[in-house]
Amino acid sequence: MAHSDVFDVRKSVRRSQRLSALRNSALVLPLIALLLFAFIVPILLFMYRSVDNGLLHRSFPQTNAALENWVAPAKVPEGAHAALVADLKAIPGSSELAVVARNLNNFEEGFRSLLMKTANRIPDDTPPSWKNALVEIDKRWLATDYWAVLKYQTGPLTTAFVLAAGDLKQDSDGQIIRQPPEQRLYIPLLLRTFEISFTVAVICLLLGYPTAYVLTRLSPFAAGILMIAVLLPFWTSLLVRTTAWIIILQGNGPLNGLLQFAGVIQQPLELIFNRFGTLVAMSHVLLPYMILPLYSVMKSVPESHMRAAHSLGANQRIAFLRVYLPQTMPGIGAGLMFVFILALGYYITPALVGGPRDQMISYMITYHVNEVVNWGMASALGLMLLVTTIILLVIFSRLVKLKHFMR
């Protein structure tokens, strides 16, 4: 009897715990649902576009099958030409044909015109040899390059965009090779993105460290007042801050006016729409993200440690280097990584205050979405940026307690 009583209590405690866990999950669920619907799923679908080859796969089923056992240097199999004609005839409407041609052109320059020309001149009745008929329309059908594209780029999935994002491509043998030097665009773009982000992070550290240090040493009242100077930019619209820099740094703006008035310069300096303007404006926007975590870490360093160092004979410099600095290293690392990660994805500021040589990877993504309309490429570049960011975030969350960043 006593035994079963104990048992029942245990069971009812468990049941009530299960119920409360269920209730707590139910409270979180609506938000998770929104994030899945409006954030996670859209990003995953966008990323899928980097490997999705639905259009080309749908358009060339017979050609793809006919080329299955063919490898580049060999002669294109006889049936392939008829298959290509059949596939081309099956493409509905000229607008879809144009899109298909444009997509193929991404893999081999000149494919657009070749395909459009061929599709327009296909004879209605069946000739004795489709091969001769195609070659008669355009001699380029003798070369294996275009056939290689039709073989390798018409599967259900494609690696072409992802490879292109790494300045690689598949040659006509199906081998992965580097793009010719003059066509290597994206690795230099990635490196430039890293370079700008890293420079901004270092500028923020150099400016932010002494600032956070002095703020922790002031009386709470004074620090509270001065903290407003750090928080005001935080609360001010990004566009307002960027606009402010355009106004200040422009040729006839206040800074050039002041320098000319003081006689430091004769001609206005070019301070904006170049790397200098980009670095200044981005550092201004990101500096609070450096100061706040540094301040939080520095607050936790007891002042007594410095006093102890002094009493043991260290002057300020030695005490700082040997006692203070090592204890703030987590803040330095965290601030650098945080600013770097945020800077990687910057778009608006470089777009407005940078020149053409200061654009970063985000700009190239919007360029491919809006101007070139090459969504696969936009997606592959997005994947590159996303993977880089996530890797850094994972390292970051292992290194730091996220608490310092939750204000």
Report, in Å, the least distance between residue 211 CB and other proteins: 4
Q: Which of residues 7-66 bind other proteins (CB under 8 A)?
A: 20-21, 23-28, 30-32, 34-35, 37-47, 49
Between CA 364 and CA 347 the distance in angstroms is 9
Q: Is 397 in the site for other proteins (CB under 8 A)?
A: yes
Report, in Å, the least distance between residue 97 CB and other proteins: 23
* Helix, coil or strand: residue 52: strand
CB 168 within 8 A of CB 176: yes
In one-letter notation, the amino acid at residue 140 is: R
Q: Which is nearer to other proteins, 47 or 135 (CB)?
A: 47
Q: Is 279 in the site for other proteins (CB under 8 A)?
A: no
CB 115 within 8 A of CB 97: yes
Q: Is 367 in the site for other proteins (CB under 8 A)?
A: no
Q: Is 369 in the site for other proteins (CB under 8 A)?
A: yes
Q: Which is nearer to other proteins, 2 or 31 (CB)?
A: 31
Q: Is 399 in the site for other proteins (CB under 8 A)?
A: no
DSSP H or E segment with residue 253: none
Report, in Å, the least distance between residue 120 CB and other proteins: 32
Report, in Å, the least distance between residue 357 CB and other proteins: 18
Angle of helix 41-48 versus helix 375-399 axis, rounded to 10 = 130
Q: Which of residues 94-153 bind other proteins (CB under 8 A)?
A: none
Q: Is 190 in the site for other proteins (CB under 8 A)?
A: no
Report, in Å, the least distance between residue 329 CB and other proteins: 18
DSSP per-residue codes, 153-191:
T-SSB--HHHHHHTTEEE-TTS-EEEPPGGG--HHHHHH
Report, in Å, the least distance between residue 272 CB and other proteins: 11
Q: Which is nearer to other proteins, 242 or 328 (CB)?
A: 242
CB 160 within 8 A of CB 107: yes
Report, in Å, the least distance between residue 112 CB and other proteins: 24
Q: What are the backbone angles phi and psi of residue 176, rounded to the nearest 5°?
A: -90, 120
Site string for other proteins, 315-334 (x = CB under 8 A): xxx--x--------------
Q: Which of residues 236-265 bind other proteins (CB under 8 A)?
A: 236-248, 250, 252-254, 256-258
According to DSSP H, which parts of 36-93 are helical? Answer: 41-48, 54-59, 61-66, 78-90
- DSSP bridge pairs for 168: 178
Scanning 55-63, 136-144, 172-180, 284-292 for contacts with other proteins by CB under 8 A, the matching segment is 284-292
Residue with tokens 């015109």: 113
Report, in Å, the least distance between residue 392 CB and other proteins: 10
Q: Which is nearer to other proteins, 132 or 316 (CB)?
A: 316
DSSP per-residue codes, 92-153:
-SHHHHHHHHHHHHTTSTTHHHHHHHHHHH--SSPPS-HHHHHHHH-GGGGSSHHHHHHHHT
